[in-house]
Amino acid sequence: MIRLRKKNLKFASNGIINACKNNYKVKQKMDISLFTHEIKVFVADVSNDMSETKNKLCIILGKAGIKVFNSSGNEDTDIQLMQQSNCSIHLLGNVDIYDPQGKGFNSNAGKQYRLAKNLRSKTFKMFVWNPSGQITDNNKYINNIRREIVENTIYSSKTSAIVFVEELRTIMNIRTEVQQEIQHKDIFFIYNDLDKQTAEEISHMLEDIQTVTTLGISMNSNIDYTEYIKNQLSGCKIGVIYYNYAGDWAVSFARQVWKDNGGQSGKTPIFLVGNSAHANEEELKIFDGIIETIIHEISLLPLDIKVFFDKTTAKTAL
């Protein structure tokens, strides 16, 4: 029987990260963090319609261990801040900051866009982000920006700030592969460090009845997890990917893990589980017929995982 323990579940805004080195031996519970260098980002001013998106982006950048320089509004100071940075981010909304006739051309956002263009080099990249993910009559000036994309300029239409920040980190960092000892357990439990506190609630409940090895993937880690996850999955009977706040990450990540694990012919079943506090069924529809998924309240997720474990291991035994 699973013993369910209810606690006051709060979002862990500052997860405790354990550093690791190249020959680190994985313990039963593992959070990985390894820096190659600190990333410094200048976040340009935005039009009013992008203010909320910018605030959210800056919070996520900070949680990812990236140093953020915000515009001062003074051109000379902004140039100095850009020169101290490795890259700049320019959010594209419905106000044209590109065309000389555009309403935003002479705004701080427009001026900083042109300043960054002049600073582009091997040591300074310019990220141009269209959070809407689409081009309509309201933001068709973006077509002109896309046509002039050159080396050291990166255009992104990712609709998720989390996914965009991960994209930025991948481009700005050299990821390090780490050799790690494989644990032979019943369950390989994976989560994003943004959801660390609730993930640990679930893994502690599971440990009452099954053997579990966990992996907390931190946004401020420069490790390439691909090979380790593939090998660790082969040493476990099932793989579980859990999320609460990090839904955008989980959907993209689960799809990649499923593919790396062999897709439909993969030997280790994968179960994607969401905490109903913030997860929703709509975002998991793309996995119909591919990966088994469930969204439930946190106190019931260990039972759901146990049922999935028993069902899949029973099939394997036949």
pLDDT-derived band at 317, boundaries 50, 70, 90: low
Q: Which of 22-31, 102-111, 116-125, 249-258 has the lowest mean pLDDT?
A: 22-31
Residues of the chain with CATH 3.40.50.10140: 40-172
* Residue 190: exposure state from Cβ atoms within 10 A (0-12, 13-18, ≥19): buried
Q: Which residues pair with 188 in a beta bridge?
A: 213, 239
pLDDT in tens, 160-199: 999 999 889 888 875 545 456 788 999 999 999 989 999 9
- In single-letter form, the type of residue at position 297 comes to E
**Measured between alpha carbons, how far is 131 from 271 in angstroms, rounded to an integer?**
29
Residues of the chain with CATH 3.40.50.280: 29-34+176-317
pLDDT-derived band at 28, boundaries 50, 70, 90: very low
Check whether domain 29-34+176-317 has CATH 3.40.50.280, yes or no: yes
In this predicted structure, what is the pLDDT of residue 264?
85
- Per-residue pLDDT, averaged over 63-81, amounts to 90
Q: Which residue has the higher pLDDT, 213 or 318?
A: 213
**Measured between alpha carbons, how far is 47 from 35 in angstroms, rounded to an integer?**
33
DSSP character at residue 273 = E
Q: What percent of the chain has pLDDT over 90?
A: 53
pLDDT-derived band at 33, boundaries 50, 70, 90: very low
**Measured between alpha carbons, how far is 21 from 222 in angstroms, rounded to an integer?**
12
In this predicted structure, what is the pLDDT of residue 314?
86
| Cut 0.85: pTM above it | no
- Per-residue pLDDT, averaged over 216-228, amounts to 74
pLDDT in tens, 153-169: 999 999 899 999 988 98
Q: Check: CB of residue 190 under 8 Å from CB of residue 215.
A: yes
Check whether domain 40-172 has CATH 3.40.50.10140, yes or no: yes
